[in-house]
């Protein structure tokens, strides 16, 4: 079997996405339930003994075979490690509701709390004994398991999600820009086309925008999230076709200028000094210049890269002449930018709850944010959140 298509990797991809989405929008959200069903379905068809997963230093080992690393594997391994879990035993009867209850525990429990297993999901801490007699976690060895029974709840249909290879491709694109190499626009277009297709086929799926990377890769995560948020806003406005695609491309590339800002500034804890702020304020111009010099990039992407921090009242940066008309796509991006920046945990502060962010958006409607587009965004937010209750 192809390593990339192994059911263990599929399971990790769906479970990691469900866990991150639950962190953003709650365990009861429909997308969490559906992703748990997909994760459980990945186990169906495995041998009678089920599937045994070991996480060894963020590498996945399934039934004694190394399946390597990946963004979903890394993310899931880190979450499990908080609770001392490095072994999962998935039995053939595993269902989506068992996984959702497991995610509820991981999402709501304090760090180092004891996470309970279930009838078809066994948990363990894996250790190996070295010649010095000391134990090392996450390296093979004995397994400690416990059980409890969960209630049977209705099954939920599955949905399609953005595949790991699309996100990995964008990570490579970010690295290309960081190293000041030539940007291949074809790869960007394929990613956005996949996002648009996923949104078209699954209502409300813009909430699958969960952060999948650590703080030092914030620009990667942020660009993915702003792209999905922009597509959701644009679709709610009735935008489709090539314009919708260009809006997605522009959002995905809006922060390319950040890749020219020293990483230690982007991840600095505490206040930036004036020199550091000046470097940050230069990123819209640097990003727009880079995209302008890249063949095949839509003109809209250059505009959005330049304008996304100007703000509705033109009090942001860079400074523009009086009467400057900010593009509507730039205004959409500003809203998405603010929402995701506040929702995502950063090096210098924690994340905010959605209701608090909604209040901030309303407070800034008419000044920093276009009021009509802000209310459109909040309607989309409310519609999807209500559907999940």
Question: Among the ranges 10-14, 166-170, 333-337, which has the highest mean pLDDT value?
Answer: 333-337
Mean pLDDT of 159-174: 53
Q: Name the nearest CA neighbour of 212 among 92, 321, 70, 82.
A: 70
Domain with 270 in it = 164-388
152-162: average pLDDT:
28
Domains of the chain: total: 2
CA distance 170 to 353: 28
Q: Indicate if 234 and 322 belong to the same structural domain.
A: yes
216 and 74 in a single domain? The answer is: no
Residue 34 CA to residue 38 CA, distance in Å, equals 6
**Position 142 in a domain:** no
Q: Are residues 112 and 184 in the same domain?
A: no
What 3-state class would DSSP assign to 248? helix
Quick check: is 114 in a domain? Answer: yes
Range name among 71-85, 129-143, 273-287 with the lowest pLDDT average: 129-143
Answer whether residue 156 is part of any domain: no
Q: What is the mean pLDDT of the chain?
A: 75
CATH assignment at residue 258: 1.10.3210.10
Residue range 91-113: mean pLDDT, rounded: 87
Q: Identify whether residues 239 and 348 lie together within a single domain.
A: yes
- Which tens digits make up the pLDDT trace of 338-361? 998 887 655 445 567 788 889 999
pLDDT in tens, 58-72: 678 876 677 777 777
Highest mean pLDDT among 51-65, 169-183, 252-266, 330-344 belongs to 330-344
Q: Which residues of 112-139 are buried (b: 16+ CB within 10 A; e: fewer)?
A: eeebebbebbbbbbbbeeeeeeeeeebe
User: Three-state SS for 365?
Assistant: strand
Same domain, 361 and 227: yes
Same domain, 109 and 187: no
- Is the residue at 90 inside a domain? yes
Is the domain of 382 the same as that of 243?
Answer: yes
pLDDT recorded at residue 131: 36
Q: Give the phi and the psi of residue 125 in degrees, each rounded to 5.
A: -105, 125
Highest mean pLDDT of the ranges 37-41, 137-141, 221-225, 302-306: 302-306
Q: In the predicted model, what is the mean pLDDT of residues 208-225?
A: 50
223 lies in some domain: yes
| Higher pLDDT pick, 173 / 330 | 330
Task: Indicate if 77 and 204 belong to the same structural domain.
Answer: no
Quick one: 128 and 203 in the same domain?
no
Q: In 3-state terms, what secondary structure has residue 195? A: helix
């Amino acid at each position: 079997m192809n390593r990339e298509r192994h059911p263990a990797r599929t399971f990790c991809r769906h479970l990691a996405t469900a866990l991150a989405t639950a962190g953003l929008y709650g365990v009861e959200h429909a997308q969490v339930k559906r992703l748990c069903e997909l994760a459980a379905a990945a186990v169906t068809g495995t041998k009678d003994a089920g599937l045994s997963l070991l996480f060894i230093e963020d590498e996945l080992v399934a039934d004694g075979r190394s399946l390597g690393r990946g963004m979903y594997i890394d993310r899931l391994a880190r979450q499990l490690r908080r609770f001392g879990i490095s072994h999962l035993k998935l039995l053939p009867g595993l269902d989506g509701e068992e996984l959702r209850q497991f995610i509820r525990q991981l999402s709501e429990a304090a760090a180092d709390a004891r996470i309970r297993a279930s009838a078809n999901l066994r948990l363990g801490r894996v250790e190996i004994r070295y010649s010095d007699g000391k134990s090392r976690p996450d390296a093979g060895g004995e397994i400690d398991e416990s059980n409890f029974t969960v209630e049977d709840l209705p099954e939920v249909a599955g949905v399609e999600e953005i595949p790991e290879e699309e996100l990995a491709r964008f990570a490579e694109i970010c690295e290309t820009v960081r190293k000041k190499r030539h940007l291949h626009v074809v790869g960007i277009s394929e990613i956005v086309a996949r996002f648009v297709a996923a949104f078209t086929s699954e209502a409300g799926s813009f909430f699958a925008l969960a952060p999948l990377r650590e703080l030092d890769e914030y620009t990667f995560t942020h660009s993915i999230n702003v792209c999905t948020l922009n597509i959701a806003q644009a679709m709610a406005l009735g935008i489709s076709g090539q314009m919708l695609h260009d809006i997605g491309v522009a959002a995905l590339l809006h922060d390319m200028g950040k890749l020219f800002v020293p990483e230690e500034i982007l991840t600095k804890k505490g206040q930036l000094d004036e020199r550091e702020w000046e470097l940050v304020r230069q990123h819209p111009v640097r990003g727009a210049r880079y995209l302008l010099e890249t063949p095949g990039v839509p003109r809209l992407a250059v505009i959005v890269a330049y304008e996304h921090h100007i703000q509705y009242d033109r009090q942001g940066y860079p400074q523009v002449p009086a009467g400057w008309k900010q593009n509507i796509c730039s205004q959409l991006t500003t809203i998405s930018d603010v929402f995701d920046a506040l929702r995502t945990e950063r090096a210098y502060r924690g994340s905010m709850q959605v209701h608090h962010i909604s209040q901030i958006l309303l407070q800034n409607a008419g000044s920093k944010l276009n009021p009509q587009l802000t209310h459109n965004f909040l309607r989309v937010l409310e519609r999807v959140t209500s559907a999940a209750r």
